[in-house]
Structure 1
Amino acid sequence: MSKPTYVYKLISSTSAPPDPLPERLPVSTIDETSGFVHLSTAVQVPGTLKYFFAEDRRVYILRIPYDEIEKNIRWEDPKAEICGPRGGEGMFPHLYNGLKLGRDEVESVAVWEKGDEWDAALLKAENWLVY
């Protein structure tokens, strides 16, 4: 597996990140329970989006330069009790740094709007969503 340029954190519009980003964003329930920040590569974002954000009309996508956080990343299988069967997506990047994710880690934030499906938003973002 080649090293990604970026990894991504998806956030529901119900937990919109403040602008400007603080030093530390509030953590999601799933991240707090797990003890790490769940991230996705560009290849994994569509599955994460469709699986966890199917009911959302808008999401915020945080783009994080991988090199900056690599020392705190563990590549792990998703836990079945959290993610369920999502075959073919492989290992996910999990950030183990005391649940800190904020302005020092995040390069940019995108807002995606859902049409009937997430496919149109993904197509519009293809130049921004970089592995």
Structure 2
Amino acid sequence: MTSSHPPMPPYIYKILPSAPESPMPAALAASDLDRADGFIHTSTASVIPTTSRLFFSAAPALWILKLSTTALARDGARCLWEGPQGCVHVYAADAGLVSLGAANVVDVMRFVRREEEPWEEVFGKEDARAWLVDA
């Protein structure tokens, strides 16, 4: 962690363009991007709107996984700040990928937007602000 970042929050978030399996399995399939990069791309609550706008602009709905950084660390994962925007990359202790699933996913919430509604507006609503927490 660099001095420009606060301590790791208790929760980080994984954005999915489609619904995860239900009930939550022990291990979800990793995205193509995560497999290619060798780590899990996640965001803090404060950057979810920006990440959604930049990478999921065409999606009418998103599913957000709330991940426990404590549970990830217990499983041997390393959560590291990357870049200036509040991106957290999750690395496995070995050369593989961390498995996201029932052991470290605290909750899942679906967010839907009206046509042309910006993600910033969706995530600015009271229920979203109450669920997406950085501290």
1:9 lines up with 2:14 in the alignment: yes
Moved over 6 A (4+): none
The alignment partner of 1:68 has SS state of helix
CA contact (8 A) 1:8 1:39 kept: yes
Give 1:75's aligned residue: 80
Give 2:47's aligned residue: 44
The alignment partner of 1:44 has SS state of helix
* Count of matched residue pairs: 119
TM-score by length of 1: 0.82
Equivalent pairs: percent with the same residue?
A: 31
Picking from 44, 65, 71, the partner of 2:68 is 65
AA in 1 matched with 2:112: E
AA in 2 matched with 1:8: Y
Q: Which runs of 5+ in 2 are unaligned?
A: 1-5
- What value does the CA root-mean-square deviation take over the aligned residues? 1.6
| 2: CA distance, partners of 1:128 / 1:76 | 22
Q: Which runs of 5+ in 1 are unaligned?
A: 79-87
TM-score by length of 2: 0.80
The alignment partner of 1:95 has SS state of strand
